[in-house]
Amino acid sequence: MSKATIMAVVNQKGGTGKTTTCENLGIGLANEGKRVLLVDTDPQASLTIALGHPRPDELPVTLTDRMAKVIQDQPVEPKEGILSHEEGVDLIPANITLSGMEVALVNAMSRETILRQVLEPLKNQYDFILLDCMPSLGMLTVNALAASDQVLIPVQANYLSAKGLEQLLQTVNKVKRQINPKLKVEGILLTMVDFRTNFAKEISTLIRDTYGSKLKVFEADIPRSVRAAEISAEGVSIFKHDPGGKVADAYRSLTKEVLTNAEKKRKHQLDQLR
């Protein structure tokens, strides 16, 4: 059986749509019949909350415990700390204890690859593992990049920081060179696009012109809509909350793009084996 594709959803800026994208791309992939694990790697636990756990600090087992066991070389039960969501995805939740883990990592052996070791035994059970990253380029984000095959970068169209993106790409390249040679930027995703303004359209064009030759910019732009902002309190995805809306449409298109690219890659790998 094939192993999971691991994708980190990363941007060191907060509020760019990382968590919303993780949730809805993940559930979008599950709706297409894929086995999906979502991993909350942010001590703020927004993804955990959005998936129906409003008080993450009361969860008995989280990502922190799995990482601690890897650091201490202790065995982990296969299902330990994995929650299942009604829309067909699994979740390794986070809570505030993960911020202590970020500190503990500094002195751990193989500190950049603890998360990779956490995910290794789970790769056979899933088609996609999506990592929701925190808004920084610290140890937890480096761990996410070291564990991943692909990076998806949500960018809030109106607040593109070219400098921020440069810095992020430098970190990705450094992890690629030093720790994880297979790491690739899958694409930039424009989020919270306000299609009513010409400005948003200009930004969208500008980003495609500037980065389109070097990096893929997903064709699906995610529109700004209050419907998307509502879901974190509902514990369900946009597909359940507003299935006929434009945000659901956009995340469906993104899901198709991700699947098409994965299929292309698989064919390419098969061709190389022949």
Q: Please report, as ranges, the residues that interact with ligand ADP according to CB under 6 A.
A: 14-20, 46, 135, 191-192, 222, 224-225, 228-229, 232, 247
Residue 18 is a binding residue for Mg ion (CB under 5 A): yes
Q: How far is the CB of 8 from ligand ADP (least distance, A)?
A: 13
Please identify, using beta-carbon distances, which residue of 18 and 66 lies nearer to Mg ion: 18
Q: Is 24 in the site for Mg ion (CB under 5 A)?
A: no
**Which lies closer to Mg ion via its Cβ, residue 46 or residue 156?**
46
Q: Closest distance between ligand ADP and the C-beta of residue 16, in Å?
A: 4
Residue closer to Mg ion (CB basis): 70 or 144: 144
Q: In what order do the strands lie in the sheet with 89-92?
A: 83-84, 89-92, 36-40, 128-132, 5-9, 150-156, 184-191
User: Rounded to the nearest whole angstrom, what is the least distance from the CB of residue 168 to ligand ADP in the complex?
Assistant: 13
Binding of Mg ion by 66 (CB under 5 A): no
Choose, by CB under 5 A, the member of 5, 11, 16, 19 that binds Mg ion: 19
Q: How far is the CB of 13 from Mg ion (least distance, A)?
A: 10
- Note whether 129 and 119 are within 8 A (CB): yes
Which partner from the list Mg ion, ligand ADP, none does 20 bind, CB cut-off 5 to 8 Å by kind? Answer: ligand ADP
Q: Which is nearer to ligand ADP, 160 or 228 (CB)?
A: 228
Gyration radius from the chain CA atoms: 18
State the minimum distance, in angstroms, from the CB of residue 22 to ligand ADP: 8
Q: Closer CB to Mg ion, residue 16 or residue 225?
A: 16
Instruction: Look at residues 220, 233, 166 and name the one whose alpha carbon lies nearest to residue 193.
Output: 220
